């Protein structure tokens, strides 16, 4: 069987993996597409393979701040494992690419059938809780530069490439800061030789340097995943 390129699915025993993939369909995630809205029923869950998704909190009913990110390490719709159908966050495609999609009713059926899937989702919910907590702490205590470095590392991890498209306006929206702050922080990273930015295309030049510039929240996220997702 060819690799399904989603870590959550690949962690399942072979029989459970086949059962789940039998109810999945391959789809392409399109940049900017909204996949779910808070308070509305979840129609599908998504297991990204090479696309990735931003989880965004709302303020006064409008998207305000990114609080999490989902790539091939996880899934969108993990709240169904808690028996809750309504989505808690605004989810928008940040990086285009492939994903496995399954209807929420069929997925709930798989959860009932597979103890291994339930166990994996419970562990992943812990990872999401850690990511949400880290995002809250990061917003309160860390400067824009280290937060930007963390965000770029998280995006690079999920894009699986050193180069990806992103605008200063989008970065300001994701980090909940003014665009001028992003311009200054990105300029400092570029002058330090860590990144290159030209006409909306960003290239990571020095991965180790970017990790050193990032706040500790990035390492916390990675360690939480390594500790429980086995």
- Whether residue 61 has pLDDT greater than 80: no
From 96, 114, 138, the end of a domain falls on 138
Average pLDDT, the chain: 90
Mean pLDDT of 40-50: 95
Looking up residue 88, the CATH number of its domain turns out to be 2.60.120.10
Examine residue 125 and state whether it is found in any structural domain, yes or no: yes
Looking at the fold, whether 154 and 129 belong to one and the same domain comes out as: no
Confidence of residue 41 (pLDDT cuts 50, 70, 90): very high
Examine residue 223 and state whether it is found in any structural domain, yes or no: no
pLDDT, one tens digit per residue, over 91-143 is 999 989 999 999 999 999 999 999 999 999 999 999 999 888 888 888 888 89
Looking up residue 152, the CATH number of its domain turns out to be 1.10.10.10
Examine residue 229 and state whether it is found in any structural domain, yes or no: no
Query: What range does the domain containing 200 cover?
Result: 143-214
Confidence of residue 227 (pLDDT cuts 50, 70, 90): confident
Q: How many domains does the chain have?
A: 2
Res 168: pLDDT:
84
Looking at the fold, whether 22 and 96 belong to one and the same domain comes out as: yes
Looking at the fold, whether 127 and 191 belong to one and the same domain comes out as: no
Res 97: pLDDT:
92
Examine residue 158 and state whether it is found in any structural domain, yes or no: yes
Measured CA distances, 113 to 20, 86, 158 (Å) = 10, 22, 30
Examine residue 224 and state whether it is found in any structural domain, yes or no: no
Looking at the fold, whether 49 and 121 belong to one and the same domain comes out as: yes
From 110, 138, 166, the end of a domain falls on 138
Q: Which residue has the higher pLDDT, 61 or 189?
A: 189
Res 2: pLDDT:
45
Res 169: pLDDT:
85
Res 62: pLDDT:
67
Looking at the fold, whether 70 and 111 belong to one and the same domain comes out as: yes
């Amino acid at each position: 069987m060819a690799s399904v390129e989603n870590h959550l699915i690949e962690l399942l025993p072979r029989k459970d993996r086949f059962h789940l993939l039998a109810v999945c369909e391959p789809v392409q995630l399109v940049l900017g597409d909204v996949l779910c809205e808070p308070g509305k029923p979840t129609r599908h869950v998504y297991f990204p393979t090479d696309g990735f998704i931003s989880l965004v909190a709302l303020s006064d009913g409008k998207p305000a701040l990114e609080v999490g990110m989902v790539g091939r390490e996880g899934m969108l719709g993990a709240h169904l494992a808690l028996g809750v159908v309504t989505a808690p966050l605004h989810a928008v495609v940040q990086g285009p690419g492939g994903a496995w999609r399954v209807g929420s009713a069929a997925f709930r059926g798989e959860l009932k059938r597979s103890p291994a899937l339930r166990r994996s989702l419970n562990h992943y919910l812990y990872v999401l809780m850690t990511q949400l907590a880290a995002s809250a702490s990061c917003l309160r205590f860390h400067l824009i530069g280290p937060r930007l470095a963390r965000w770029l590392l998280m995006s690079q991890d999920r894009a699986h490439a050193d180069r990806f498209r992103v605008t200063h306006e989008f970065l300001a929206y994701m980090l909940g800061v003014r665009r001028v702050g992003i311009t200054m922080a990105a300029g400092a990273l570029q002058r330090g030789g860590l990144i290159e930015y030209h006409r909306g295309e960003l290239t990571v030049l020095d991965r180790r340097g970017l990790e050193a510039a990032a706040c500790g929240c990035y390492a916390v996220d990675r360690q939480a995943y390594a500790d429980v997702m086995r």
